[in-house]
Amino acid sequence: MLMFCPTCANILGVEEGPKALRFACSTCPYVHNITKRIGNRIYPKLKEVDDVLGGSAAWENVDATEATCPKCDHTKAFFMQIQTRSADEPMTTFYKCCNMACSHRWRE
Predicted pLDDT at 8: 94
Residue 98 labelled as part of a binding site: no
* Each residue's pLDDT tens digit, 59-71: 778 888 999 999 9
CB atoms within 10 A of CB 20: 9
Give strand pairing partners of 72.
Answer: none
Query: What kind of fold does domain 56-107 have according to CATH?
Result: N-terminal domain of TfIIb (2.20.25)
Extents of the domains making up the chain: 1-42, 56-107
Predicted pLDDT at 66: 92
Predicted pLDDT at 83: 85
Phi, psi at 107, each rounded to 5° = -140, 160
Predicted pLDDT at 52: 64
- The whole-number mean pLDDT for each consecutive block of 10 residues of the chain, a chain of 108 residues, reads 88 89 92 83 84 69 89 91 86 90 88
Which CATH number does 1-42 carry? Answer: 2.20.25.10
Radius of gyration of the chain (CA): 30
Predicted pLDDT at 53: 62
Residue 5 labelled as part of a binding site: yes
Same fold, 1-42 and 56-107: yes
